[in-house]
Each structure stands twice: as structure tokens, then as C-alpha cells.
Amino acid sequence: MLVIVCPHCGPRNSNEFTFLGERSTRPAVAATTPAAWRHYLYFKNNAAGEAGERWFHVSGCRRFLDVERDTLTNEIRSVRDVGEAAG
Amino acid sequence: MSMGGESVAEYSSPVAAATADLGSCLLHDESHLAKWRVWEDDHGVELGRASHYAGSIVCAVSPGEWIVIGDRPDAADVVDLTHVRAAIRLTGAGARSLLEHVCALDLGDSMTPNGAAARTLVAGVATEIIRDDAAGEPSYLLLMSRSFARSVWERLEAAAPATSQ
Amino acid sequence: MASYPTRYSALALLRKGVTRSDWPRAWRHHDLRSSYDVVIVGGGLHGLATAYYLARNHHITNVAVLDKAYIGGGGSGRNTAIVRSNYLTPEGSAFYDRSVRLYEGLTEDLNFNIMFEQRGHMTLAHNDASLRTMRWRAEVNKLGGIDSEVIDPAGVKELAPAIDVSDRPRYPILGALWHPPGGIVRHDAVVWGYARGADVAGAHIHQGTEVTGIDVASGRVTGVQTSRGAVAAPVVINCTAGWSTLIADMAGVKLPITTRPLQAAVTEPVQPFLDPVIVSGTLHVYVSQTARGELVFGASVDPFSSYSSRGSLGFTEGLAGHVLELMPGLSKMRLLRQWAGLCDMTPDFGPIIGPTPVAGFYVDVGWGTYGFKAGPVAGEQVAAMVANGTVPRLIASFGLERFEQGRLTAEKGAAAVGH
Amino acid sequence: MSGSRLGVQPGELIDRDRVVRFEWNGTEHHGFAGDTIASALAAGGVEVFSRSFKYRRPRGILTADYHDPNLFVQVGDEPNVRAGHRLLISGMDVTAQGAWPSLGFDARGANRLVGRFLAPGFYYKTFISPARLRPAYQKILRRFGAGGKIDPATPPAHAAKRFAHPDVLVAGGGPAGMAAALAASHRGARVMLVEENHHLGGHLLYGGPESAAALAELRALIGADDAIEVLTNAVVTGRYDHNWVGVVVRHGGEERLVKARAKCLVVAAGKIERPYVFAGNDLPGVMLSSAVRRLINLYAVAPGTRAVVATANESGDAALADLERAGVEVAAVADLRKSGSLLVRAKGRGRLTAVELSGGRTIEADLLVTAVGWTTPTSLLNMAGDRPVYDATAARFLPGEFPDDVLAAGGVVGDGSIESVVDQGRVAGFEAGRRALETGAAWQRLTPRAAPAPEVDTEPTVIPRLPAMPHPELFTGPTDGFVDFSEDVKGRDLALAAAEGYDSIELAKRYTTVTMGSIQGKLAGVNAVAVHAAATGATIATTGTTTWRPPYAPITLGALAGVDEDPVRYSPMHDWHDAHGAVPIGAGQWIRPDHYGDPAREVRNTRANVGIIDVSPLGKIDLRGRDVPRLLEFVYTNRWDSLAIGGVRYGVMCAEDGVILDDGVTARLEESRFYMTTTSSGAGRVWNWLDEWLQTAFPTWDVKTTAVTDGYAAMNIAGPRSRELLQRVASGVDASPESFPYMNARIATVAGVAECIVLRIGFTGELSYEVHVPAGYGLHVWEELLAAGSDLGIAPFGLEAQRIMRLEKGHFIVGQDTDGLTKAHTAGLAGLIKIDKPDFSGKPELVWEGEQGPPRRLVAIQPVDGSVVPAEASQIIAGGLTRGRVTSSRTSPTLERSICLAIVDTEYAAAGAELTIRLPDGRDVAATVLEHHAHVDVDGGRVRG
């Protein structure tokens, strides 16, 4: 049971969150091709180490979060709300 | 649709009993309380806190929104949660240890002092927990989706025998 | 094909016992050659089976199997050793049916007792939807000539008396998919049997040899870099699990795979009481009792991707709760050991077998939670693909290209009722 | 002759005033309160407690504690009870395990004779052919399985779990652990102190007067400290990510799980005494020095009458002293620290009778005590990422590196006097407390609800090294013996395995099963490594240990399960259904009425008069804000901007891959207030889906979503007389078809309940109104509707009748008539896909599917023989291959014939096409494809009426 430090709720057990996988960018629908679109759908980096992920605090504040996690150690480097993810 | 509206209809509670005496603490069904969701608050209630205002409790468990328990607040957008959320109150010396059987949150005074509010899992159900001590006695108000209330109530009763140990 | 220096048999066992002489090595150490005809990355079940069938079926013996640690240390040694073929799609069930048939002959074929116990495989249905899926699988299986049928709760009770079939609102048992040919195998034995067979046929098994790079020149694979030096090879096959995307990345090939831990656990042994393999998709649990008397448990993959193969406490809690939902009498059994393996999940729960955009670089990956039961057939088909340079019909629908083309395989439904 | 009860010992744990009677293999025995099963039996002269797994050799006491591989017994319906740990209870029914037909005579003991032929992995080498006999072999092999019996009728033993948040969790209640707990508490930390045995103290319990004094003092201090929670007869089973720690608390056979998020974990697990590998080392009468010390000091049991002591350390010396004090004759002492002094072999048939020492000296004895060294239980440290390092001087593995939130104290890190161990533990605990408080303060700062974080000391304290004392490297003697007692693995077995190619320790472990038994290699681990290293010409250091995997000690499934149950959801009208003969059915988390006796009658009544169904589980989402229409345009495939106030529209949501996610109707109640309904199972998924798009893609849009599923009891009144019924109970709404047409919604007061939402929609293919009532008044309105409609022939109907009617109407159910690959075109929704919209979820895939045409289609079909109802999932075949499947099928009470929905390959989907359905019983039946999905109310006259 990982501890994820939610920026709004503080440290919480990971079973309060839904894992949505590595973040990916949605191609512009008007211009996309089947290959490009399906890479967006199916192909991830599957990084061994630093991964940029999206989690959802479904049983807490219901905010979507950008999580930087080391997939080898499960160490979590940072958790930010998608709203201020750039910050 | 809050209680005491013009309705003559008979209200029914989501749980079987109004109260349950679990020895070191009491369960009370307070589902009938009017509850509201708003996106503005002029009392300045901060995230993670709950405060009393003229008979109402205002709490914040998610950024930019508040839950009001009591009279309908005066706000642009108000969603009535009265029937959406059931309310169960645990009061008594053993309330915390009972809750610790079904809730992973650190309920100690440093992490969850009186007046703290949070949404978390209680008996596997997303629940707003408000620590609302009454006359120095530990008390927690739990709000959860109405259809789960019976399950949660029964889980609390099932855990009770173990609290002694 | 060369024969074993000492064939295994009861008689040989007796002879060794009397003369107190030792057995020859099951596989030998070799120097790493500077070039091989085929380099197989990954000394697990799939890699070793591929080497074995390359030699036995196609007389390709100048083959190296490279493993960064020891053979069978990955998914091959961490799975729950269940074999079945009652899949949802015609392609899927035909493929796994071939695997079951290979397993049935494997002990004699490899002259190594893999202890395949066909005690039957039972997938429980707790609601209309899963009962419907069971019937769907059974009907597809029957069309493919696979022994698979839907049975009622009484039938469940008869085959597995420990199961509680009493009527209850939450998880009643409405019936089950019954698959007599299914069963369990001693997983390590399969790895060792293939290793011994591949070794005697001339393949080189190099343990402790990590692949650090894959050489590609003008769209062709030319060899691999390893912790023990460079090896030239016109054909490189990625037979890894857990690390398959990292190996493919070395060749510049992207795979639609995410790596998830799959946990398993075993109890202390008790006297035999459970014959068939029991699976509940709804409760995400599968159970079998080994010849040693232990119960072996597995569940669904972890809720988030990770390369960490440490077990979690939450897994054992959920597992125990669900096992006791099925068999309440087991509450005093003790969980002895838990572990995790890495599973390569694909978007459609189908494997990825076939050529890649890099000529000579093949993949046999994406095996999710069911790579063990497919080991023999995957090895056989991949060997045929490499030897003949064409993709055999049996694996035609499992190619990498299907994802860009949007032609996903339909096992999605089956994976939900897993293992 | 056997052991027997001694006079009163200073530190004994037994209460001689309380005699406890129990049964052992059917004969009555007695012991004292405080006895373990094993100590009581030993006091009563029992020497053989079990038979070994492979060779069925008789086995006696080895370590006399929880981890004794020879003391597994059956207690009533509980298998594999540790007799060296479990306290005696009066009336206990204790039996030996795996000793069929009896402990004395064991037919399978014949195995011993053929031991030479049962080389490691012998089973891989035989039973190879003929294949037809293999199942028989397998049955025989299974008979040899170890372990006790489980009775499937055992009543479930579940105990509620609990969560804990100690600042410092100390694993191990010996001197170091107790000192660490006290120091951490003095620092201001809340401490949980966990001890595996029944009493705090570790080896101080049997260490003589000096130990006793120290123990008394430490216990007094801990007893007086409210900040320390002491859990005895409890064990830390695992350390998981981020210091999530499992603790099992035992009460006799019952176990209870505590899940602790420890800010700092102190591992003070002590040392485990290691057996010696030599011929006869498993004979009853051969014991470790710690076993002898436990038996004499804790239970006042003489372990033998004539002893040989082979010692290489202080523990053996102390055991020697204990024996002499207890009046046990010591025939010889072999000091293995002296060169040339050897322990050669133990002799005897079924029990020890003599011991051979160096120089051919053979001494008669019924007790052989060995003290040859220690194993460090680094299990918890390994789980924290530690890789132990072999220290040749100390002849044991010692901890290496582990994270900051884990510390080690006492025997796991080194040796020393009581003072030095206590002192090292004290400092470790002091520093653990500081780290924990620092973490706690950081968590308070990160937690809005928390109290203000206190100032904490950030100055680390250096923890003194506890040097590991030199110890001779004693693993195997001059003869071969058992390395693993629970698996019957000898040294030669490991050597043979290595010679056969299983030459990495992990391969050797898997091949010989060494360390894989029920004591998890606690005793065998290091000896196995030593033997394997010798066999492969490697060193112990380079060979390394095998991985310690959780749990540290086995946990019952009952403890892991606890009383947790997946939560169940009830409708506000649930009790009414119960009271009125509803047959319940689980639908996801909901318990719903499947029917009230006769679904067909319910259908006919609804079509003829009016029926009422509880559809409360239907997902409901309140949508507010200026930009709701933009959101609907994006998540649904069809158009929404034009929806008028009071209007209702049906929509389908697709995921980005074009696969149907959910469907439902959405009403516009006010300019900026919408009311979305979803499938019951999709309610949560859809709410999350909306919020995900709003938060990640459209953060500036003015849309507020609130799940209100539970806020409204929903009941659908359907049938030709439903309008009349509504008119009777509803006020504030004109129900006439002109002012309240199909696909419209109104706010109304129903049966006196204001703020009800009434939707005129028709899932059943009837004129019908869905009344959504504030949940607390649901039962009231439900009963009022039934009363008001009694003369209209109203009757409730359940899920089954609804399924039949929706099938008659040809409405598909997402997840039943569609699957994980069904895109919108396949479901025949082309008309609802507006690709002229600039963007919506899944648009590209739907555009491409539209261009290529779907490979499969959802169609309505009817078997030619209307009396045949093809089971759902029956395959549609052509040329022996599957071309599709029946997704829904029922007998239509309205048409009095079978009707179906099916997904078929497009080439077979044309209206009028003749199909062949293969029934589960193997028969083939013919069926025809209809033009529309609807079998009933094809023109929509009923719903629109």
C-alpha cells in the first residue's frame, strides 16, 4: 500500500486512488491518422524508472493528479493537481 | 428537498435502527439532516476543516467546493445532497478505536483534530468524515452515499466486539 | 537429434542408487561464441522451448539462449502453473488447444516428468453476465473440438466438495465452466526439461549473460551486445517478459505493452482435499492444490504498473477474503509465502508474436498472465516462423501490426475471467 | 528414558497450581497452565512428535519454539499448529500429523530403506512412461503430502482487522527491542512493541539471575509507559512499500491482523540458533542449546537423562550449566572451538542412543546438545531492500543497507553483553523516535486538516555499532546429515543437484525444495548456502542468501480476510420488495428484485394495464453551468446544443477507441441545469469520465457535476394506463400527450412530494413515466402509486420482466449485447454518430469504422421455430465456423415466441437472412434476421402514444 501525498488531502493510501497510466497527448482530431491515433491509444513508454503518470483521487478530493513515480522502486517524486501541473 | 418542507410525506431512513449502543460508543442515524453542495463560501472555511455557523456545519474536503449541513445556503449554484448522502454519527470514548477498524486515516489528534474534515474510505465506501466532538466527548459525523449506509452501519456493528481488544 | 547421455527412468534411478554414481549435467556450460545463427533473449520457458523446437523440428542448432540471471527465474518460475485451453475466441482456443496437446506429450517427449496433472479446470459464475461468458466460451470451445461445458451448482459441489454452493445474494455460485483437460504442471520442470532437451540438441544456454544492446544496421538486426561481449546474429528473438519493452527499445521497436506485477501466494501444505483448479473471475482469484498439498493462489494483476516484484499485503487480504467466500472452511489454513512476477499487458489481452519492422528481429512477448500455458506452442510456432520465414496460421492473428491497424483480438472478454 | 518435570525453576512460566488435561493421539495427558503443547508432552515422556515429510523418520524437539520444524501437530480442526509455541488449553485434542497409520508404526517409513533411490528431484526422472499410469502415480505421490487435515466444515474464524499509525514500530521484544521502545517513547513517539513469544524478554527469559534482573527492570519501565502499546504472541509478518507493516496478533488459534503505517520501523528480531549438519542430526534427542535452555528454564522439563554437549559458543556453555544445575548427567562435552574436537555422528534407531566424537569416541547418551552458531533473521530488512552480507569472522550473514525509515537493533546487527545490547537498542530507538517525529511533522505540514506541526529535532544521533563476535564457521560436520528438516533434504542432495547443473542457489532451492517448507528456511537457509557453496567451489559470500519472502511467519486466511465484506447497496424500497415476495438478485453492488413470482405475468400485466419497477440503481448525475451543452456534445456521439428546456435526449458515449462506454438519457431541466442518467453499472465510471475531461482537457468550462444516484428513488410506471395513474398522483404537471410528449421531462409534486423529476421515456416499449423521487420519500411515493393504481391493475415488475420487455422493444444492454470491442456502428447507431461535429470522444475511430463499415452488426433475430429459445451465447455458425452469437434471448410473452438479439458478421446481417444457431445441446436451429431491432412496438406507437 503506497503512500501518495495528495496536494489537497495529504498522505493517503494508494487504494483511494485510481491509476490511469502514463500521461499521453491527444492528437488533434481533425488532422490525425490511424497510426498516430492508435499510438495515442495503445503505445506507452512503459518506463522502467521515472514515469509521468496520471492518478485520480476517486475516494478523496476527486481531483486528477500528475504523479512522477519511479516504477522500479515505487518511490514517488512529486504529486501535482492537473490544474497547476505546469507549476 | 429538505426535511420540514411543505411535504406531508413520510420520510424513511436508509438504516434499520435510529441508534445502536456499541458499548464504548453510540451510533446515531442523522440521515434526515439537510445537506447541500455549494461552490462558494463566505465563512472562509478552509480545505480539510469543518466549522459551525448558526446551527449549520460547513466543511471542505475538496478544493473549490463546500458541503453545508443545515439550512439551505444562499449561493448561485446549490445542489441538494439531503437524500444523496446518509449521515451516521459515532459518539463516545470508543468512537475512534471503532473507526480504526474500518478507516485507514490517522485519526490521532495531531492528524485529525476536532474540526477536521476529510473524504476517505470507510468500510470500503467513500465517506466524508467530520470530527465534531460534543462536550469534550469524541464524535465523528460520517456522510456516505445513502444506498451504502446500511452496509457501513452493519460493518461498524460487526467491528464493535473487537474494539475491546 | 542427439540423444541424452543418460535417459531418465525408474530403472536408471535404481541403477544410480545401487552404484551411487552421479547423474550427468542436465545442461552444460559453454564459452560464448562470437556469432550464432539465432540468439534468443530470455532463458525462460518461451526462449528455451523455442531453442528446443528450432533444433528438433528444424535442425537449427547454432543457437544461443541468453539469460541475465538463471534459467526460469522470471515468469516461468513465478506463475501458478495452470494449463487450459478454454479460451473465448476460435483463434485463442485453437492456439491453446495445441499447447495442451503438447503438454500432454511433454513428459515423454522431453524424457523429463513435468508432472502435468489433468485434474480439470473450473471457472465459477456468480452472476448472469459471467454465466453467459462461460457459455460463450463453452460453445466456441465445442466448435473447436475442445472438452468444455457449463455445469450447474450441483456439478460444482460434486467435483469440489469444499466449495460453498449455498444460495446467497452477493456471490452465489450459479454454475461453472468445466474443462476436464485443464490442470497444473510443475512449472520449473518444464523449464528444466526444455533446457536439457535444447542443450543435448546443441543449443548453448548462457546464464548470467545480460543483453545490453541490440545491433541494427540498415533496418536489419546484426547481433547483440552482452555483459560478456558482442555476439553477431542474423536473427534475434525477444522472448522476455517484464522487460520486453526495454529489449525491444534496444532495437528501436515500440511495443504496446505496460508491465504490471502479478502476485501469487502459497499456503502451508495440508492433506489433499481439492482436485480441480478453481477460478473465479468475479472474485479475481484462482486456486489449486499442488501434489505437495499446498494451495497455490493467484489473482489479477496489480492496480498500477511497476517493475517491482515485491508482494503487497493488500493482495493477500483480498485473496483470503475471496477464497473464504468460496471455501469458508479454510479460514484456519495459513498463508506461507507470497511473491510477484512481472506481466506484460497488451491492450487486447492477446500476445504479440511475429516479425517487427526490424528485419530478423522477432518478438514473442505480451503474454500477460497466461504465458506459461502457452510456452510449448509459442516455442513451436516461433521456431517454425523463424525457420520458414513465414508466420504460421496458428499465430497469424497475434502480430504487432494489428494495433496500428485497429484489428484487436477479442480475448478481452476471456481475460476478465482469466487464468 | 524420556525427559521429566524438574523442581521449581527460578524463571519458569508454568503455574503448578493449575493442572491442564488434554489428549494426545487419543490418550489423556496433563501439563500446567503456561506449558506449551510440546513442553507438556515432553514432561510426560513423549519423544516423537511427528514423522518427516519424505523418509517418514521419527522427529522430536529441535528448537522448542514457534519455528521448530518437528513440532507441527493437529489441534481439533486446526492443522499445522506449532506445539513448541501454542499454549496448552484444557480439553485440547492434539494429534500427530502425517503419521499414517500411527506415530509408532509408519508404513510409509519403508521409504527410509529406499532413501538412496530418492535422490533430489527423483520424481522428475521417473513415472515417465507409460503415460496411462501417470495419474495413478500422481495419486500415490499426493498421499505423501505433508501437513495436517482441514475440514471443509470448519466454522469460519474471522476477526476484525484494524489500522494503526505508530510513530515507531519495534519488531522484537528482547532486550534491544524493549530498550528501543522505551527510548523512542522518551523522545515523544507513540510506539508499538511486537513480540512473537508470550512474554517480553527474548533470551533474557532464560539467561539466569543477571538477565532476570535486567528483564524485571525493563518490563517495569514498559509497563509504566502509556505511549508504548505492547503486543505479545504477535508477529510482524511483513514490511511493505512505504513502511506499511503487517502485524498478526494471536489468541490461541485465533489470529487478528493489524495494518500499521509505521513512520519508523526498528527491527530487533534477535538471532535464530542454527542446527548442525551431521549424520543422525534429526534423531529425537538431538536438540539445539536454545531448546534445552527453554525446556529447563521456562517449563522445568529435563530434556534428557544423559547428555553430550557439543558447544562452540556461550549459548552451549549456558545450556551445559543449565543441565548440570538441573541434575542431568553430562557424559561428555565437545568444545568445538578447540581444533580437532569434532562431533562426528549421532547414533540410534528411532531415537538417540549414542554420540560419536572425534577419535572414534562413542558415548552413550539420550540427549545431544549442539551450539554451533546463529542465523540472522534479516527477513524484514530484506523486504526493505537490504541485501545481507556474509561475515566470515562472525560466521553469519549481517544486514547491509536499508532505507532511512528502517533501523536495526540488537542481535540482528551484532553481539554483546546485556548492557551493550540494551545501550545500542536505546540509541537506535532514540534516533528512530526522532526520525518518526520528523516524518510526522512533515505529514502534518502536508495535511490541511492536521494540527500545526510541532518543532522537531533534526540532529541525527549516531547509532553505535554492535560488533559481531568471532565465531567458528561450523555448518557441516565430517558426516552428512539433514540440512532441511521439514523437506528432508540432506547435504548430499544439494551437492548432487549442483553436479546436475542446478548450480545457482535459486535453482538448487527449486530443485531440492530446500528452505521451501513451512518454516520458510529459518533454520536451513544458511546451511543450504554453505553446502551449496562448498559443492560449487564458491564461497558463502558470493553465493548469497536465498530471498526471504513475506510473510515472516505464516498467517491464517481468516486473519487476512477479517470481517471485511464488499459493500452492498440497497434501494429505498428494498424492505418493501422483501416483504412482498421479491426474489433478490445481485446486480453489481446492488441487491434488486429479479421478479415477484412470475415474470411473464408481470410483462403481460404491464403491456395490458400498468406495471411499476424500482429502477433506483440507475445512474444519475446533476450537471450545472453554462458549458454543460459543450460537455454533452463532447462525451456523446450525437447533438445536444439544440436540446430545449424540458426536453430529453438519448445518447451513447464512446471511449477514445470508439468502443461503447455507456448510454442513457439526459434531460434539460433549466437553462443551465441538466439531469443525466447512465446505466446502473456505469454510473461511477461515467461520472469519473466527465470529471476527467473537465479537469484535464476543459478546465475553463463552467460545468459542475454531482452524482445524485442515491438521492433519488427511481420508479418506472409503464403500460397503457400509466398516464392515468400519473394524472392521479402528480400535481403541477399536465400529463396530456400534447403538453407532456414522449422524450420530455417535468418537475412535479408526486404524492405530496415536491421536486420530483418525471421523465417520459420508454425503455420497455410502453407508454411510461420514470418518476425520480427524493430518496427519503421513495417508499412513500411507491406505496402511494400502488394504492392509486390498484383499480388500474397496477402490479410491480422486476428486473427479469424489464429485460424481456426491453428485448421485445429491441433496446441493447451495454456489456451484454455489446462487448469490449463493439463500436457504435456495430450496434446500429450510425444515425446517432454526428461526424460533422468538430470533435467528440472516439470520433476518429468512429469515422473510420463508418468508412470501412463495421465488421459485425447487432441484429434482432427470431428462430423459425418460435418454441425454441437459444441460450444466450449460443453460436451462429456457417460452414462449421462461428459467425456470431446470440447476445440476448427470451420467450416473448407478448408474441408468444422466442426472440433474440445477436451480433453477427456483417455478411450475415442483412434483413431476411437465414442463420443457423448451434444450441448448447448440439442441435442446430434456423433463425431469421429482422429488419429492425424491435420485435414489439416496431413503429413506436405505444411509447409515443
With contacts defined as CB-CB under 8 Å, which chain C residues touch A72?
Answer: 306-308
| Cβ contact B120–A12 (<8 Å) | yes
Compute the nearest-CA separation of C199 from chain A (Å): 33
* DSSP per residue, D16-63: EEEEEEEEETTEEEEEEET-BHHHHHHHTT----EE-TTT--EE--SS
Position D824 confidence tier, pLDDT thresholds 50, 70, 90: confident
| Cβ contact A81–B61 (<8 Å) | no
Q: What is the pLDDT of residue D105?
A: 58
Q: Taking CA atoms, what residue in A is nearest to B61?
A: A61
Chains in touch with C (3+ beta-carbon pairs under 8 Å) read: A, D
Among D242, D446, D692, beta carbon nearest to A56: D692
Cis amide bond preceding C180, omega within 30: no
* A84 in contact with B, Cβ within 8 Å: no
HEC secondary structure over D268-292: CCCCEECCCECECCCCCCEEEHHHH
Q: What is the pLDDT of residue D549?
A: 86
HEC secondary structure over chain C: CCCCCCCCCHHHHHHHHHHCCCCCCCCCCCCCCCECCEEEECCCHHHHHHHHHHHHHHCCCCEEEECCCCCCCCHHHHCCCEECCCCCCHHHHHHHHHHHHHHHHHHHHHCCCCCCECCCEEEEECCHHHHHHHHHHHHHHHHCCCCCEEECHHHHHHHCCCCCCCCCCCCCCCEEEEECCCEECCHHHHHHHHHHHHHHCCCEEECCCCEEEEEEECCEEEEEEECCEEEECCEEEECCCCCHHHHHHHCCCCCCCEEEEEEEEEECCCCCCCCCEEEECCCCEEEEECCCCCEEEECCCCCCCCCCCCCCHHHHHHHHHHHHHHCHHHCCCEEEEEEEEEEEECCCCCCEEEECCCECEEEEECCCCCHHHHHHHHHHHHHHHHHHCCCCHHHHHHCCHHHHHCCCCCCHHHHHCCC
Position D142 confidence tier, pLDDT thresholds 50, 70, 90: confident
Contact call for residues C301 and C260 (beta carbons, < 8 A):
yes
With contacts defined as CB-CB under 8 Å, which chain B residues touch A59?
Answer: 119-121, 126
Q: Which residues pair with A52 in a beta bridge?
A: A68
Q: Do chains B and C touch (3 or more CB pairs under 8 A)?
A: no
Under 8 Å CB pairs connecting chains A and D tally to 59
pLDDT tens for each residue of D51-85: 988 888 999 999 999 999 999 999 999 999 999 99
Chains in touch with D (3+ beta-carbon pairs under 8 Å) read: A, B, C
* A74 in contact with D, Cβ within 8 Å: yes
Cell numbers for D258, please give them: 493489524
pLDDT tens for each residue of B85-124: 999 999 999 999 999 999 999 999 999 999 999 999 999 9
Residue C295 confidence (pLDDT) above 60: yes
Q: In this structure, what are the phi and psi dihedrals at residue D381, rounded to the nearest 5 degrees?
A: -70, -40
Contact call for residues C349 and C286 (beta carbons, < 8 A):
no
With contacts defined as CB-CB under 8 Å, which chain D residues touch A64?
Answer: 691-692, 695-696
Q: Residue D536: how many CA atoms within 13 Å on its side-chain side? A: 24
Position C75 confidence tier, pLDDT thresholds 50, 70, 90: very high
Under 8 Å CB pairs connecting chains A and C tally to 57
Among C255, C306, C314, beta carbon nearest to A71: C306
Q: What is the pLDDT of residue D707?
A: 98
pLDDT tens for each residue of D347-389: 999 999 999 999 999 999 999 999 999 999 999 999 999 999 9
Helix (H, G, I), strand (E, B) or coil at D243: helix
- The bridge status of strand D264-267 relative to strand D301-302 is unpaired
Residue B1 confidence (pLDDT) above 80: no
Other residues' Cβ atoms within 10 Å of the Cβ of residue B164: 9
Compute the nearest-CA separation of D699 from chain B (Å): 13
Residue D624 confidence (pLDDT) above 50: yes
pLDDT tens for each residue of A51-81: 999 999 999 999 999 999 999 999 999 999 9
Task: Give the C window 367-396 contacts with D, CB below 8 Å.
Answer: none
Cell numbers for C351, please give them: 500476445
- Where do the DSSP E strands lie in D503-625? 555-556, 583-587, 590-595, 610-614, 619-624
The answer for residues whose C-beta is within 8 angstroms of residue D339's C-beta and 6 or more apart is none
Compute the nearest-CA separation of A80 from chain B (Å): 13
* B110 in contact with A, Cβ within 8 Å: no
pLDDT tens for each residue of D877-903: 999 899 999 999 999 999 999 999 999
Position D146 confidence tier, pLDDT thresholds 50, 70, 90: confident
* DSSP per residue, A29-81: TTT--HHHHHHHHH-----SSEEEEEEE-TTTT--EEEEEEETTT--EEEEEE
pLDDT tens for each residue of C172-216: 999 999 999 999 999 999 999 999 999 999 999 999 999 999 999
| Cβ contact D560–C335 (<8 Å) | yes
* C101 in contact with D, Cβ within 8 Å: no
pLDDT tens for each residue of D173-210: 999 999 999 999 999 999 999 999 999 999 999 998 99
Tell me the C-alpha distance between B34 and B71, whole Å: 7
* A71 in contact with D, Cβ within 8 Å: no
pLDDT tens for each residue of D530-539: 999 999 999 9
Residue D234 confidence (pLDDT) above 60: yes
Contact call for residues C341 and C261 (beta carbons, < 8 A):
yes
Position D136 confidence tier, pLDDT thresholds 50, 70, 90: confident
pLDDT tens for each residue of B63-78: 999 999 999 999 999 9
Residue D113 confidence (pLDDT) above 80: no
Q: Average pLDDT, whole number, for chain D?
A: 94
Contact call for residues D718 and D764 (beta carbons, < 8 A):
yes
H-type helices in D463-504, by residue range? 491-499
pLDDT tens for each residue of D430-445: 999 999 999 999 999 9
pLDDT tens for each residue of D739-755: 999 999 999 999 999 99
Q: Taking CA atoms, what residue in C is nearest to A2?
A: C312
Q: What is the pLDDT of residue C10?
A: 83
Helix (H, G, I), strand (E, B) or coil at A7: coil
